[in-house]
Amino acid sequence: MLSNGIIKLFLLLLLLINPLIAVEKKPAEFNDSSILEKLGSEALADISLVNSYGEEVLLSSYLEKGPVLLNFAYFTCPRLCHLIVDGMVKGLNSVNHSVLKDLQIISISFDHRDTLETTKLFRDKHRSSLNNINAGDFSWDFLYGSQDDVKLLADSVGFRYYFNTKSNQYAHSSALIFLSPKGIITRYLYGITFDSFDLSMSISESRKNKVLSTVESILLFCYNYDPDEQGYVLEAVKLMKFAGTLTVFLILYLIFKLNRQSNYK
């Protein structure tokens, strides 16, 4: 067993070290590049940006057409932004066509150094990899703009980023942000890979003020987003309610059929 003297010395060292740990600050990259969720808030829709064809557009021009998927990136990013977009594309390529109908995908640069040329290069690299979507059913635009305007838009949806002057690169989170056709923030999906089911559910949620298919409505009833799991999980109670309701209708239908058969005899 440890002697009392050794134990006291150990406790004294902990007391001396603890203040040093407590005053240690997180780097600015961590504090200023995290997502500040604003579910239910409205994105700024009157921000003017430039698309990859050199045309000025407003975010509002994408609304009302369908659900909106916002992907913030910077187009000269050495790695992370490309991984996020690759993960998004791979997930979307496995999503059912009917769910993707009218989806508006917008990749927005938050890099003050991006130009029309870098925007075109980023567009050409990634848009061609969407191989499972009918070209007439979706829109994917790549936008850039003034540093102040992009910052206003990013702040309105809780996307924060930090420019490190030493590395000459941006620190930022990896997330996709979904808006309803009215510009309301409905969901955040985190990571560099995105499950096709989570994407489908997020798109369906963002389409709520539009007409949902029967399958989408049932899935949204039975599944709910779990922040801990960072994805959609089946809620057993809701599933039991749905199964019970379906069973009642099936029994009633069976009774109706049997009654009709007995009347014909």
Q: Read off the tokens for 129.
A: 């990899």
pLDDT for 8: 52
Q: In this predicted structure, what is the pLDDT of residue 74?
A: 92
The class of domain 28-208 in CATH terms is alpha beta
Structure confidence by residue, pLDDT tens digits, 67-123 = 999 999 999 998 899 999 999 999 999 998 888 888 999 999 999 899 999 999 999
> Which pLDDT belongs to residue 249?
52
Pick from 35, 43, 40, 27: nearest CA to 191: 35
pTM of the model: 0.76
Report how far residue 133's alpha carbon sits from residue 103's, in angstroms, rounded to the nearest whole number: 10
Other C-beta atoms closer than 10 Å to the C-beta of 51 total 18
The CB-side HSE value for 228 (13 A sphere, CA atoms) comes to 1
pLDDT of 81 reads: 92
pLDDT of residue 136: 55
Contacts of 179 (CB under 8 A, 6+ apart): 43, 63, 67, 68, 69, 70, 157, 185, 186, 206
Q: For 222, how many CA atoms within 13 A lie in the half-sphere containing its CB?
A: 15
CB 69, CB 178: distance < 8 Å: yes
Find, among 137, 54, 103, the residue nearest to 207 by Cα.
103
User: What is the predicted pLDDT for the residue at 101?
Assistant: 85
- For residue 33, CA distances in Å to 71, 95, 156, 170 come to 15, 29, 14, 9
State the pLDDT at residue 237.
Answer: 46
Nearest to 106 by CA among 151, 137, 152, 73: 73
Spell out, as residue ranges, where the chain has pLDDT lower than 50. Answer: 1-2, 11, 20-24, 26, 237-239, 242
**What pLDDT shows up at residue 97?**
84
What is the reported pLDDT for 139? 86
Q: What pLDDT was estimated at residue 247?
A: 67
